[in-house]
Amino acid sequence: MLKRKFIATVFGAIAAFAISAAAQAQVAGKDFAPVNPPQATGNPAKIEVLEFFSYGCIHCYHFHSAVKKWAASLPADVEFKRVPVSFSRAPWFNLSRLFYALETTGDLARLDEAAFAAIHDKNVKLYDDATIKAWVAQEKVDPKKFAEAYDSFGVQSKARRADQITAAYKVQGTPSIAVDGKYMVLNEGLNSYEEILARADKLIGKARSEKKK
């Protein structure tokens, strides 16, 4: 009787493992695209996840609440970063500067979603320096502090670096998710943003298993 229970337990564990492995399986060209060449990450001890986005992208706005909630619950071995893209468009480059300037002044958490809403809900054209600076002043950001950050060499360098990263990952559209410098989540054939994030979760699991080898 004990032997039968032991055998049943073993086979149950094997079946559960097989189901788990199948759930984690990802197919190159269908679920993800390999990043070629693979990109170095900021911290090799962590699994780096990048979200490529722009405030000017309506799909990024719709994705924002889902990815924000998801990122907040990621395990401790995962590091989530956002990369604003411009695709060589001057107005979107200014939006990248807006992102990094708000990060510098400490106002990003408060005004992150508001920047999306201003453009897509309120038709505020946050594409030139004057409009951006007027909007942040209206949103109770210290105008002098913001202008110094927005016009600074540091913020402009970060925006240019974001474009370099975007090009290195060969990002074709937004929003896009990259995992550990090696994989880009493919969005085709998916019906919800939650499905994109579920696919990202599986790639995180794949990257984690590869780090253990």
- Count Cβ atoms within 10 A of the Cβ of residue 164 and give its class: 0-12 exposed, 13-18 middle, 19 or more buried: exposed
Total residue length of the chain = 213
2 belongs to a structural domain: no
The total number of structural domains in the chain stands at 1
Cis peptide before 175 (omega within 30 of 0): yes
Instruction: Tell me what pLDDT residue 190 has.
Output: 86
Written as one letter, the residue type at 182 is: K
Instruction: Tell me what pLDDT residue 26 has.
Output: 75
Does the pLDDT value for residue 204 go beyond 50?
yes
51 belongs to a structural domain: yes
More confident residue, 87 or 6: 87
CATH number at residue 181: 3.40.30.10
Max alpha carbon distance in the chain (Å)?
Answer: 80
16 belongs to a structural domain: no
Dihedral sign of CA atoms 207, 209, 212, 213 in order? negative
pLDDT digits (tens, 9 = 90+) for 122-177: 999 999 999 999 999 999 999 999 999 999 999 999 999 999 999 999 999 999 99
15 belongs to a structural domain: no
Distance separating alpha carbons of residues 158 and 113, to the nearest angstrom: 20
- Output the pTM of the full model: 0.87
Selection from 27, 99, 84, 25 nearest residue 53 by Cα: 84
Distance separating alpha carbons of residues 32 and 178, to the nearest angstrom: 9
Distance separating alpha carbons of residues 131 and 135, to the nearest angstrom: 6
| pLDDT grade for 25, boundaries at 50, 70 and 90 | low
* 108: containing domain: 28-211
Distance separating alpha carbons of residues 8 and 4, to the nearest angstrom: 6
More confident residue, 23 or 140: 140
Among 47-56, 129-138, 144-153, 204-213, name the one with the lowest average pLDDT: 204-213
Radius of gyration of the chain (CA): 21
CB atoms within 10 A of CB 88: 10
156 belongs to a structural domain: yes
3 belongs to a structural domain: no
CA torsion, ordered 13, 14, 15, 16, to nearest 10 deg: 50
Instruction: Tell me what pLDDT residue 24 has.
Output: 55
Does the pLDDT value for residue 41 go beyond 80?
yes
| pLDDT grade for 188, boundaries at 50, 70 and 90 | confident
| pLDDT grade for 27, boundaries at 50, 70 and 90 | confident
Distance separating alpha carbons of residues 45 and 39, to the nearest angstrom: 15
Give the contacts of 99 (CB within 8 A, at least 6 positions apart): 55, 82, 84, 108, 115
Instruction: Tell me what pLDDT residue 122 has.
Output: 98
5 belongs to a structural domain: no
More confident residue, 170 or 14: 170
73 belongs to a structural domain: yes
Distance separating alpha carbons of residues 179 and 208, to the nearest angstrom: 10
